[in-house]
Chains A and B, each alone.
Chain A
């Protein structure tokens, strides 16, 4: 009964989203107030129905209802409750339900957030969101219905892939999807502006907090995924340039560019058509990513089993959504006029470079990701692209970006003078270079040419980000949260640059075969293998090794790497032991039983690797802090006073 209820609710949700799309777009176009008034009930109804539907699916998982095919294929009675719930997004159909739920959630948030904006605009935003919801609901019901029954039901389920039974991974999809789907709101704002044929500085101010929120979630989601890959795949890597990773990283790069170009559009009324394009592209890349992952055109560790029809459906959806958005763009964007000019070394220029470099970075990742798809039809043979392509090409656009950042944040709007800041900038650059080279050559041996440059740039970003806030503090001027948030995010980026440089340059690693009592060394670290003993979990058994780690002769940790064998799926997994000592991560992975009590082991010391993920969370926190700035709230509270259509652009309230 419950699965049927869930399916029924999903069908109702689809019908409501169709109403939401129709009234939302047709209402303002035909100037029907009562149509526009129907949008809000449709959005709320859609949200409730989607929530009911997801609740039904969760109930089936919790109750171990193995008559539901999706539950039987992805859960098992031996699975702990927490993972039975998380199993919902363990495969294709359920993760679509999660996606739809989050979209409904963002839609209702957008409905509340735009309630004070001009009615036709708010209505169009929700209308565009309705089109997206409708597409995904139709897709789910037509090709990926998670409520289908099995006859006869299975006695027990197949269980979730053990690699996915992990707290990091359980949290990763919801957070990542929240970011992905959040970009739909920015897309809807762009769609509404294009339908209206009008885009002013206020539009940019309305759009900014939504974009930043989505970006912050996306940052956290990507970091969680990378963290999971680091400690479960068992080999200590944290980024593989896998198609699915790229699919989340490209929208992030676009969203980063969008955040910066929105700043220019809000403050100066410039880059209007460019900002619009970025808003369209950021979400479009989320959709394209979905297509690449779900259609089976690219093979990846994350890919869901492909089924006939899915790829065609998403492609059709892509053509409708992205195609019409870009067609609308080609038609409307020429109407947008920039409101002012600027000098070459003004802040506008720096942000333009920021955008060009971020989009270039995104384009290189995109090219590498779809290279296998392009090469095959062109008869270039089979082509696969890996880190040897991605690392250098990506650095090529990101290094200048990092170098320009420290100068750019001190440039002024419109005018090209750095003024008294140029001296302090040069001083901080010298200081950073001294620190960077000192750290690299003083504490570490080896490394690469790029490592002093990387550390120098990272330190410089942090120091120069602090100049402005410190200056304001000294002069007792309050610092708006937007500035504080930006500073925090940039500091996070600086930490990120330093830590990734350090990880790339100074990771030490060794694969050894050790018998009980055997010892291996890695720099000042010593690892003593104490043999293995059997372990037993609720749905797995296996062995755990014991490794005593010491540093310069003083004991550091007792590490217990595991190898598990899951009963239901007969899949073995490696659980490396990770211990954080000072700023380095020590990783020990248990390899193969070589007989006679000898085991192969991988030992690895990665300095600062934890800071990579920490940096991502700092950046996200910076974004969230910026959203809480007064100006967004005040701006919205004032809105009803403004005449809805044809309002003259005013400067921002901040």
Chain B
């Protein structure tokens, strides 16, 4: 074996590769608000997906044209989503903005029984069992939440659970005083 390539240098070489991966990871890191999503300011992906609660129906982006909505990517397997869930319920109670859920890489049966147990904060839930839709949104993990305006433009993205503070400081101020379809032009 040569002096520089032998079994004792392998760990160092592997480590060097890892460092490169980590460096790229930092560059692309979904730094909670700090690095904006490439989608911000661009149209949200159009979707037409089966509904979780009513499998015969479809949940489509067209239904939300002209309305503000939060697009929330979640799954029953995701612990952060469970932590976020009570906050979503409170948002629902305020009646300010509807939440559209994307049940990501999940067993619909689990999802339905979870929502029955924990409460359903969503106006409608689209099923994304193979994860294809979440990729369109550039979702890195769950939960991720997108604020979409009446023109279908993504104006804000939140990685990780929506906290009280994120709701008060990042989401509410972006909404018009009364979030009717016409008020959307104020954004």
List A residues at the B interface (Cβ < 8 Å).
163, 233-235, 240, 242, 273, 277, 280-281, 288, 291, 295-301, 303, 305-308, 311-312, 315, 318-319, 322-323, 326-327, 329-330, 333-334, 370, 372-374, 376-377, 381-382, 384, 386-387, 511, 513, 569-573, 589, 591-592, 600-602
Contact = CB atoms under 8 A, between A and B. Distances in A.
A600 to B, nearest CB: 5
B61 interface: no
Given A233-B82, A329-B12, A382-B134, A311 B26 contact: yes
A385 to B, nearest CB: 11
B53 to A, nearest CB: 15
Contact of A296 (B29, B116, B164): B29
Interface stretch (B30-38, B64-72, B95-103, B172-180): B30-38
Contact of B22 (A235, A303, A373, A602): A373
B55 interface: no
Contacts of B105: 384
B123 interface: no
Interface in B71-124: 77, 79-80, 82-83, 86-87, 89-90, 105, 113-114, 116-119
B30 to A, nearest CB: 6
A389 B23 CA distance: 25
Contacts of B184: none
A372 B117 contact: no
B6 A334 contact: yes
Contact of B117 (A240, A288, A373, A600): A600
Interface of B: 6, 8-9, 11-12, 15-16, 18-19, 21-26, 28-32, 34, 77, 79-80, 82-83, 86-87, 89-90, 105, 113-114, 116-119, 131, 134-135, 138-142, 159-160, 164
Give 9 closest A-B pairs by Cβ, nearest first. Answer: A572-B86, A592-B119, A591-B117, A297-B25, A311-B26, A326-B12, A299-B141, A301-B79, A330-B9
B170 to A, nearest CB: 14
Q: For the complex, would chain B's binding face be called helix, strand, loop or mixed by DSSP majority?
A: helix
Contacts of A300: 80
A312 B12 contact: no
Q: For the complex, would chain A's binding face be called helix, strand, loop or mixed by DSSP majority?
A: mixed
Nearest to A326: B12
B10 to A, nearest CB: 9
Contacts of A296: 29-32
Given A295-B29, A306-B29, A382-B134, A570 B24 contact: no
A387 B131 CA distance: 16
B184 to A, nearest CB: 28
Given A305-B32, A570-B164, A295 B82 contact: no
B135 A382 contact: yes
Contacts of B28: 376-377
Residue among A319, A373, A374, A513 with max Cβ neighbours from chain B (10 Å): A373
6 contacts: A298-B141, A306-B34, A312-B26, A330-B12, A571-B87, A600-B117
B11 A318 contact: no
Given A330-B9, A571-B164, A235 B32 contact: no
A382 B90 CA distance: 30
A333 B142 CA distance: 44
Contact of A299 (B15, B30, B83): B30
B16 to A, nearest CB: 8
B35 to A, nearest CB: 9
A330 B117 CA distance: 56
Contact of B116 (A306, A322, A381, A600): A600
A333 B6 CA distance: 11
Contacts of A163: 83
A323 B15 contact: yes
Given A296-B32, A382-B135, A600-B117, A326 B11 contact: yes
B80 A299 contact: yes
Nearest to A281: B11
Given A329-B8, A591-B117, 14 more contacts: A163-B83, A234-B82, A281-B11, A288-B18, A295-B26, A296-B32, A299-B140, A303-B160, A315-B23, A326-B15, A377-B21, A381-B135, A382-B140, A591-B118
B82 A235 contact: yes
Residue among A233, A323, A382 with max Cβ neighbours from chain B (10 Å): A382
Contact of B80 (A301, A318, A323, A387): A301
A327 B9 CA distance: 7
Contacts of A377: 21, 24, 28
B29 A311 contact: yes
A308 B77 contact: no
A233 B32 CA distance: 23
Given A297-B22, A377-B21, A322 B15 contact: yes
Contacts of B87: 570-571
A277 B117 contact: no
Contacts of B140: 299, 372, 382
A338 to B, nearest CB: 14
B116 to A, nearest CB: 6
Nearest to A568: B164
A300 B30 CA distance: 12
A372 B141 contact: yes
Contacts of A326: 11-12, 15
B25 A373 contact: yes
